[in-house]
Structure 1
Amino acid sequence: MTKEFAVPPVVFTSGGNTGVGGPNVPQRRVPTAPFQPPRPSNSGIPFMSFDVGSAAASTSSGTIYGGPIGGGGSTNFDDEEALLDELGIHPDQIWKKIRSILNPFRVSHMVHQDSDLSGPILLYMSFGLFQLLAGKIQFGVILGWIVVSSIFLYVVFNMLAGRTGNLDLHTCTSVVGYSMLPVVILSALSLFLPEGVVRFVVAAVFVLWASRASTGLIVSLADGGDEHRGLIAYACFLIYTLFSFLVIF
């Protein structure tokens, strides 16, 4: 036999302060529709929706106003500088400096007034590439010797010139790098030269060429080196002799 329980009926009212539970019980809210933007009027500024289809429809019905960006709607790339000029690389200037080294008796120091490192890096990479073709991986050795040689020549010149010397390290590195052109040519010719006395004789000629070119440039570009030309030439001779040993051995 089942027992019946008397359950009072529950009445839900629409008022916020009446109903079951008393006036302090919050009532359930009815969800409202999301925000709907106003429809485009006839002013010529339609509403841009995130829907691709509606965006295409709105653009076909009117012109979307983008507003001025940077003073104009488009970017003019004709006024921009070339990428090499922004990086400080001038191929015509590099070619003039390399061509000035080709004649060791008439080295033009005027084109070397503005020192740069783009040409020397190109010659270093060429030297390392020719050494690689000869079966010698010496990129790190070449870079290390270049740094040590530049610092060595910089210290020697300033010690000889004293207070009158105005040679900076950047100019010294540029001169040493561009004067590496004879050694680079020697490394290219060594691929076809036989081993023996011939290679030593050719290497001596190219070392004298590089030493004369670097000595003339340093004495012309810096003050206080005319009376110490012989010692500067000896320092340059030692530097390019070391690089020639990389080619010969």
Structure 2
Amino acid sequence: MTYTGDVTPAGPPAIRELPGLTITKYAVDPRMANNCYLLRCTATGAQLLVDAADDAPALLELTGGIVDTIVTTHQHWDHHRALADLAAVTRPMTVAGAPDADAIESATGVPVSRRVGDGDVVRVGDVELEVIAIAGHTPGSICLLYRDPAGHPHLWTGDALFPGGVGATFGDADAFATLIDQVETKIFDRLPDETWFYPGHGGDSTLGTERPSLPDWRARGW
């Protein structure tokens, strides 16, 4: 089946097969509808989970109980509710943006093995994911970029970027200015229109689809 990125909480996952990477998107929690992404290196079988958001039993089933790395995109509670339970079983390396790491450790009781920033590389088997730090939604939010050598880039954005706008900044004008500036300069100015992005909630999109709306987002202030 053609991958669309459309999933519903506790419904079937959406699976995308790339030459070197299998992407499995799974939604949890009907109220928050968080997306969790399992990335599997097809050459080595290594697995990385983006956001252990909720429902540890379902995520353990999805992963087969084997997770080499868990990346938490940011410190907000809804993105790491299953982290402690998954970490207790799978003993993964845990990764988070350096400015958010203390808050994640405090909330979950799980030490962050690796605190990352702009330009760092997180590996899942033979696959390299570049860290793009995007402040504003939280101080230490991170995105992960995969430059598929056989196709277009793929970008996991957490709550920094969604179809239709950037993440919430809760009425903080300075935080919004930081977020929209960094999304524009670090993502839209660097990456091509065909870049497919995978947000922390809801459906996916491409940068080309969203690019014409950037001036409107900036003008409305959210």
TM-score range, shorter chain: under 0.3
Normalized per residue, the structure richer in helix is: 1
Larger radius of gyration: 1
Q: Indicate the structure with greater strand content.
A: 2
Calculate the TM-score normalised by the size of structure 1.
0.23
Please give the TM-score of this superposition, normalised by the length of structure 2. 0.25
